[in-house]
Amino acid sequence: MTFEELSVLWLKTRKNKVSFSQYKNLRCYINHLNRYIGEMDVESIKPMDIDALLDTLTDQNPNTGRPASRQTLVDVRSTANRIFEYGIDLELITRNPARGREVSRYAPRRYRRALTATEQGLIISTPHRARVGALVMMLAGLRRGELIPLTWDDIDLDALKISVTKSAEIGEKNKNQFEVKQGTKTSWGRVVDITLDLALELQKAKAVAVSKYVCSRVDGKMHSVVSWRRMWNSYHTALCKAPGAESTNIQEITAHYLRHTYATLLYLSGVDVLTAAKLLGHSNVKTTISIYTHLDDLTKSKSVDKLDSYLSSSLFRAPA
CA distances to 198, 300, 309, 311, 316 from 319, rounded to whole Å, are 52, 30, 17, 13, 8
Boundary (domain end) residue, out of 235, 252, 269:
252
Q: What is the mean pLDDT of residues 216-231?
A: 96
84 and 122 housed in the same domain: no
Choose one of 252, 268, 303: the last residue of a domain: 252
Residue 234 confidence (pLDDT): 95
The residue segments making up the domain with residue 41 are 3-89
Question: Across residues 243-265, what is the average pLDDT?
Answer: 84
Antiparallel, parallel or unpaired: β 178-182 and 155-156: unpaired
The answer to whether position 24 is within a domain reads yes
CA 289/CA 285 separation, integer angstroms: 6
H-helix segments, the chain: 3-14, 20-37, 47-59, 70-89, 117-125, 131-140, 144-147, 196-207, 225-241, 255-268, 273-280, 285-310
Q: What is the CATH number of the domain that holds 121?
A: 1.10.443.10
Q: Where are the alpha helices (DSSP H) in 215-272?
A: 225-241, 255-268
Q: Say if 11 falls within a structural domain.
A: yes
Q: Are residues 69 and 127 in the same domain?
A: no
Q: In the predicted model, is pLDDT for residue 253 greater than 70?
A: yes
With bands split at pLDDT 50, 70 and 90, how would you rate the model's confidence at 104? confident
pLDDT of residue 314: 61
Q: Do 172 and 48 share a structural domain?
A: no
CB-based contacts of 48, cutoff 8 Å, min separation 6: none
> Looking at residue 316, what is its pLDDT?
62
Residues 6+ apart with CB under 8 A from 211: 217, 220, 221
Q: What is the pLDDT of residue 124?
A: 94
Q: Is residue 96 part of a domain?
A: no
- Considering the domain architecture, whether residues 74 and 122 belong to the same structural domain is answered as no
Residues 52 and 8 in one domain: yes
In order of 5, 42, 148, the CA distances from 28 in angstroms are: 16, 20, 25
CB 96 within 8 A of CB 43: no
d(CA 265, CA 291) in angstroms, rounded, equals 12
Alpha-carbon distance 13 to 86, whole Å?
A: 10
The residue type of 15 is K
Rounded to 5°, angle at Cα 306 from 301 and 308: 90
Let me know whether 125 and 168 are in one domain.
Answer: yes
Nearest to 73 by CA among 112, 106, 111, 37: 106
In a domain, residue 153? The reply is: yes
What is the average pLDDT across 107-134? 87
Residue 36: CATH number of its domain: 1.10.150.130
Statement: residue 15 has pLDDT above 90:
no
Given a cut of 90, whether residue 12 has pLDDT beyond it is yes
SS3 47: helix
Residue 279 placed within a domain: no
Pair 135, 208 in one domain: yes
- Phi/psi of residue 287, each to 5°? -65, -45
Same domain flag for 82 and 124: no
How far apart CA 68 and CA 64 sit, in angstroms, is 8
Query: Residue 101 domain-assigned?
Result: no
Residues 63 and 129 in one domain: no
37 shares its domain with 159: no
- The separation between CA 219 and the C-alpha centre of its own chain, rounded to angstroms, equals 29
70 or 173, greater pLDDT: 70
pLDDT at 105: 81
- Count of structural domains, the chain: 2
Question: Residue 167's closest CA among 143, 191, 134?
Answer: 143
Choose one of 205, 235, 252: the last residue of a domain: 252
Most distant pair of Cα atoms in the chain: their distance: 79
DSSP label at residue 44: G
Report pLDDT digits (tens) over 179-189: 898 887 766 78
Please, are residues 198 and 135 in contact by the beta-carbon 8 Å criterion?
Answer: yes
Q: Does residue 110 sit within a domain?
A: no
Tell me what the mean pLDDT of segment 235-245 comes to.
89
**What is the dihedral angle through the alpha carbons of 311, 316, 319, 320, rounded to the nearest 10 degrees?**
130
pLDDT reading at 171 higher than 90 = no
CA pair distance 193, 163, nearest whole angstrom = 9
Mean pLDDT of 266-271: 86
Judge if 71 and 139 occupy the same domain.
no
Q: Is residue 95 part of a domain?
A: no
pLDDT at 76: 95
CB 218 within 8 A of CB 98: no
- Asked if residue 172 and residue 51 are part of one domain, the reply reads no
- Predicted confidence band of residue 305 (pLDDT cuts 50, 70, 90): low
Task: Examine the pLDDT at 252 and tell me if it is beyond 90.
Answer: no
pTM for this predicted structure: 0.69
